[in-house]
A and B are shown apart, each in its own frame.
Chain A
Amino acid sequence: MKFVDEFRDPAAARALVMSIKELARSDEFKFMEVCGGHTHTIYRHGIEHILPPNIELVHGPGCPVCVIPMGRVDDAMWLAERPDVIFTSFGDMMRVPGSKGSLLEAKARGADVRFVYSPLDSLRIAVENPEKQVVFFAVGFETTAPSTAVTLVRAKELGVTNFSVFCNHVTIVPPIKAILDSPDLRLSGFLGPGHVSTVVGNRPYRFVPDVYGKPIVVAGFEPLDILQSVHMLLAQIREGRCEVENQYSRVVRDEGNPQAIALLGEVFELRPHFEWRGLGFISQSALKLNDRYSNFDAEVRYDMPGIRVADPKACQCGEVLKGVIKPWECKVFGTACTPETPIGTCMVSPEGACAAYYNFGRLHRETAELVGQSART
């Protein structure tokens, strides 16, 4: 258990791993984490190699950058290249490839694309540039959507007319359902997302045990949190329970953040359908601005092409996002597709499974194999 020494509390980690082994016995378990932050922690700390080999962690569609389909990136590029537009985006989206390159390339070609930390930074740019139209490229799950909602409320209060939002916010429950409905995977349970749950709480996940008979544990981001959550999942299974549990109660309240939920309702409504990279169209899985805020909706304000573009053939982000294959099993992983020249979205965002594995996982895997070999000889 070499990697355990890197943990904040190695003794606690060792005890948890021992107990996990006892609970797991020799049965096979497959748990999916649906949050990119968890994927990052798992690879960064080599947790897959600390757990017994009969417990597999599968990485799900929890990286909001990774699930944006190519056609939406193309629409963003189309907006960014309008001469009257200042296009603003989180840094993570800048290198996501569309069919005609990325926002970073549009910027290099002369488009006014600016990277912002907060949607409220984007609103400031709008106020300071009244002769320009400022568009904010909104992405993210329920973690980030309330920030866009507050920004829109503020824009309305201030009467800002040259600000709009290209809304690509997605919701966490529909992709979990889609994965549970998919015949590709036989999962034993879920690690529930931490930060999303600070907003939505634990209740939206009740369908996972109630309808699908799988346990789910909302987990924190420390390596010990992940181990403890795996332990809680196994304990549920061994004790014949199946429920939503909250390992991250230090931060996540059962009811979530009712103020943030109310703000989402004030500004957004569900789209009938939204395309997810790799998962296809999922009904009621994304947000759009409602009638009260349609003046701020870039999709209403501009006649965007809105053309659906198939993902690149070589790229297997879809299978990675569904947890059907591991990043390194993709044909172009680490060769044609690297963080510097990404083909697929999973290689772009640091929370994407491919980038996380490229940056950290390979080392752990190679080291683990060496340790295993030397132990056997």
Chain B
Amino acid sequence: MCLGIPGQVVEITDAENHLAKVDVNGIKRTISVRLLAKDNLQPADWVLVHVGFAMAKIDQHEADLTLEAVKQMGQSYTDELSAFTSSSIL
């Protein structure tokens, strides 16, 4: 549960409620970007996604590094990805 997985912002879907659609390894889901409200996130920005929240803005290089590292975690990564896939936040 402590994994942070990199996701790329696809669209700010609801600016008032700080919701954005992000792409994590090809899977697109809505997350909350409220914790980064002052970072002025834009489509194509990379963020570290943790339990349905963007917790830090990162650059593409860091996103690549992190994705490679979490993929090596095997089962933990596939569990995290399937949990992300199942997510449908309010």
Interface residues, chain A, with chain B CB atoms under 8 Å away: 8, 35-37, 40-41, 44, 63-65, 90-93, 115-121, 123-124, 127, 139-140, 143-144, 146-147, 150, 154, 158, 195, 198-199, 221-222, 250-252, 257, 259-260, 263, 349-351, 359
Contacts and interface: CB of A to CB of B under 8 A. Distances in A.
Given A44-B72, A350-B75, A350-B76, A124 B1 contact: no
Contact of B51 (A65, A115, A117): A117
A121 B87 contact: yes
A251 B90 CA distance: 27
Nearest to A150: B34
A248 B39 CA distance: 19
Contacts of A143: 2, 4, 50, 55
A64 B2 CA distance: 9
B55 A198 contact: yes
B56 to A, nearest CB: 5
B48 A144 contact: no
B37 A40 contact: no
Given A36-B2, A92-B1, A117 B83 contact: yes
B89 A120 contact: yes
B3 interface: yes
Given A41-B69, A117-B84, A140-B2, A150 B32 contact: yes
A257 B55 contact: yes
A349 B2 CA distance: 10
A259 B37 contact: yes
A91 B52 contact: no
B35 A260 contact: yes
A121 B50 contact: no
Given A63-B2, A195-B48, 6 more contacts: A44-B73, A120-B32, A198-B48, A221-B69, A350-B79, A351-B76
Given A37-B2, A64-B2, A91-B83, A118 B35 contact: no
Contact of A40 (B17, B73, B84, B89): B73
Contacts of A257: 35-36, 55-56
B50 A147 contact: yes
Contacts of A117: 51-52, 83-84, 86-87
Given A41-B69, A127-B90, A259-B36, A120 B76 contact: no
B89 A146 contact: no
Contacts of A8: 65, 68
B53 A351 contact: no
A252 B88 CA distance: 28
